[in-house]
Structure 1
C-alpha cells in the first residue's frame, strides 16, 4: 500500500492497543494504514517528524459547545480544534429539534474537524445562556420536545450520538427532575444514549444517578458542593459506586462552574477516576477556568492520574461513549485522526471553578494533529 503520510519518531501512546512505544504511524485514504518501524515510503509520501512528541489517537472532547453563531455559548470548532489538538468535538445540547438542521448545515458539515452532537430534548437547545441572560431551558416543560427529538435523531444519524438534558436548580428550576424523565423516554424511543447535566439541587446527585442506564453519561461528575459525589468525610456516595457498577459513565465537563480540585482529590484518593475527561468549553469559559481539553487533562495529570489513563479518558473511552469505535484508536483501518502533544515541565498555575489554585509541574501542550489522514499543524 502507498502511504499518503507517515509520522516518524514519535512516542505513540494508544491505550486501545496497550501501545506505548517509539514507532511510526502511516495514513492512507483518510485512515490509519500501518503502525511499525521503517514503513515503506514512496515518492508521494509526506513525512512529518514527530520526534520529541507523543502521538495519541485524535483527542475527543466529549463536552463542548460549538454551535458558533447559532447560540451565545458557541465557539468556532476549527479554531478550537487547532488551538487544543482536539480532532473531534462533541457538542452537548447547544441545539434542539427546532434548530438542529441549521447547526448541521452551517457548522457541522463545513467544519474541517469532526463534530458530533447530543441533541437537546428542549426544542431550541440552550438558548438563554450568556453573561447578561441566564434562562434554564428546562424550566419550562412546554419546551420539552421528545417527539421532535426522536424524529430529528432519526434524520441525522451521522451527526447525533445521543440525547442531552440539563437538570438542577439553575437548569430546570421548579421542574426538578421531570425533564430527565422526558429525555429518557426520548432516548429509549430513539435507541441512543443520554447525557445528563447536573448542577445544584434539586434534584440530588443520587436522584439523577438512579435513573441513568448503562452507557448513559453523567457530566459535571466531579462538581463542587452542593451536589458533589463525595460526602463531607471524603468517601464516595454509595449511589455513585452503584451507578458505575451498572455501566453509567462519569464525565468531567469542567466548564465555568462544574469542576473542583477538592472533589477530584477525594475521588482519586478513593480510586475513582473519571471515565471521560472533557472541557465543557464555551464562550464564557474558553478564557478560563476551563480553557480547553488539554488544560483539563493537565489538571488530572498534576493531580496524580497516570498519563496513559488521562489519554484513555480523552480518546478510547469517549469514542466508546458515542459508539464511534473507529475513533479514539490508531489501529490499522481506523479513521485517520491523531494528535501530537508535548509534556512541558515547570511551574504552572491551574484554577478550578471555586477559585482554588493548583501549582502543577506538568502541562500538556498540543503541537499539531492529523485530521482525516492529513497533517494539520
Structure 2
C-alpha cells in the first residue's frame, strides 16, 4: 500500500531553531522540499521515509559566512563548493571576495548554478577579486578598484551578491594607506550592501617596511568608515592589525562599534587563536556569526590536485604560506566556541538566524518555520574528551564535539562525507 502524506520525517532529535523559538525533542516532517510540520510526535506511518536522529541536533541549514569556493579562478584558494557546503553539513556558503565585478558572471555560471549548496557571494572591492594576493599584492592598490563598475555589478546581481568584501590589513596600509578601504566603503554605501572587513596581516609588508604605518591604529581609522550591519572579521586573529593591540588588550573602539550596530564574524581560517580568543571574549567581543574561512592553503584537499599551469611555488605543498595549519570545519569552530565558554544555545544562532539576518535573507533561510525550504543540518553531539588545536599549535580539551552527520538541502539528503572534515581526536 502506498504511503501518502510526508516525504520524510526526522524523528527524535533535539530541534533548535532560534528564529522560531524552538528548542526541544521534536520530529520534523518534510514534503515537496519544504518543512511541513514540527511536533513532539509525528506518526511514522505518515511518511514515506523515517530517519531516526535520536541523540542528534537538528538545526536550520547551517550558513557558512566565510568560504572560498571560486575554484581554479582564485588559484589554490578556491575549494569545491559542495565540499565546503552540503558534504560538510552546510546548506549555504558565502564566498568572501572571490568574485569581482569582472569575474562574477563566471562565478554564477560555473560555481553557484551547478552547486547543490546554495552559494552566495560578498563581491570583492578589487577588480581582480580573490586571486592569490600574497603573491601579487600590487594588484590590490587603489588603481585596482573601479567603484562605478563594482556598484553596477553588485546592484544588478543582488540575488547572489549579498555584500562587499574589503581588506584593512597592515601590508595594504603600508603600501597605499586607507584609500582602498575608503573606496570599499563607498561601494558598500552606494550598493546598499553590508561591508565585510578583513582585519589582521595578510599580504606582508613591502620591501620598504611599514612606511610609518602602525598596525594598532588601523582599527580606529577604519571603523568610522563603517555603518550598522557592516561586519568586522577575524576577532581572534593571531596576526598584527586585529582586535587585540600589541599590549594584548582589546581596542576600546570595538565595544563602541558593536554598540553602534557593527557585527563580528569569527572568520576562523588560518587566523584563529585560542590565546587571543581568551583575551577578547571576556572583554565582550562576542561573535555574531561564525564563518569557517576554509581555503586551499589551510585545508588539505586530497581529492583535488593543485591547479595546473601556474608557477610551481603557488601550489607547492612544502612552501605555501599556511603549511601545517590545524584542520577545522564550521562544526569544529562551533565546538571551539563552546569550549571557550559560549553555550550551545548561543552558538547555534551564529550559524543560522544571525547569518540569515546579515545576508538580508531572514524570510528565506536560517529557520525551520513550516513552509520554508527544507534546509536542515543534522549534527552528532559527541561527549567525552577531545583535543582541539589552533593555528599557533595551542591545544584545548573539549568535552563536547559537534560533527556533521548529514544535511537536507531543499529536502534532498547529503551525507557529511567531505574528505576535508577533521577527524575527532580523543584526549
TM-score when normalising by structure 1: 0.92
| RMSD, matched Cα | 2.1
Q: Does the 8 Å contact 2:169/2:241 carry over to 1?
A: no
- Secondary structure of the 1:335 match is coil
Q: When the two structures are aligned, how many residues end up with a matched partner?
A: 373
Q: Which residue of 1 aligns with 2:211?
A: none
- Secondary structure of the 1:17 match is coil
Q: Structure 1 CA distance, aligned partners of 2:239 and 2:382? A: 32
Q: Does the 8 Å contact 2:89/2:414 carry over to 1?
A: no
Q: Structure 2 CA distance, aligned partners of 1:96 and 1:167? A: 18
Once superposed, which parts of structure 1, at least 4 consecutive aligned residues long, lie more than 4 Å away?
Answer: 40-44, 231-235
Deviation (angstroms), 1:232: 6.5
Q: Which residue of 2 aligns with 1:101?
A: 105
Q: Structure 1 CA distance, aligned partners of 2:95 and 2:33? A: 23
Deviation (angstroms), 1:82: 3.9
Q: Which residue of 1 aligns with 2:316?
A: none
Per-residue displacement from partner, 1:77-112 (whole Å, max 9, x unpaired)?
A: 112224421111100001111111101100101100
Q: Structure 2 CA distance, aligned partners of 1:341 and 1:305? A: 18
Match of 1:65 among 63, 68, 74: 68
Are 2:253 and 1:239 aligned?
Answer: yes
Q: Residues 1-377 of structure 1: matches in 2 within 5 Å? A: 2-39=5-42, 45-72=48-75, 73-129=77-133, 134-136=135-137, 139-171=140-172, 173-200=174-201, 202=215, 204-224=218-238, 226-230=240-244, 236-256=250-270, 258-287=271-300, 288-289=325-326, 291-325=328-362, 326-377=364-415
Deviation (angstroms), 1:359: 2.7
Q: Does the 8 Å contact 2:87/2:414 carry over to 1?
A: no
Larger radius of gyration: 2
Q: Structure 2 CA distance, aligned partners of 1:244 and 1:289? A: 30
Q: Does the 8 Å contact 1:138/1:173 carry over to 2?
A: no
- Secondary structure of the 2:137 match is coil
Q: Which residue of 1 aligns with 2:308?
A: none
Deviation (angstroms), 1:353: 2.6
- Gaps (5+ residues) in structure 2? 202-213, 301-324, 416-427
Q: Structure 2 CA distance, aligned partners of 1:217 and 1:137? A: 25
Deviation (angstroms), 1:166: 1.4
Q: Does the 8 Å contact 1:290/1:296 carry over to 2?
A: no
Q: Does the 8 Å contact 1:138/1:166 carry over to 2?
A: no
Deviation (angstroms), 1:46: 2.5
Q: Does the 8 Å contact 1:340/1:368 carry over to 2?
A: yes
Per-residue displacement from partner, 1:194-237 (whole Å, max 9, x unpaired)?
A: 11111235462222222211001111122235334245676543
- Secondary structure of the 1:45 match is strand
Q: Structure 1 CA distance, aligned partners of 2:138 and 2:382? A: 41
Q: Structure 1 CA distance, aligned partners of 2:167 and 2:249? A: 26
Q: Structure 1 CA distance, aligned partners of 2:125 and 2:159? A: 18
Q: Structure 2 CA distance, aligned partners of 1:316 and 1:216? A: 16
Q: Structure 2 CA distance, aligned partners of 1:259 and 1:22? A: 33
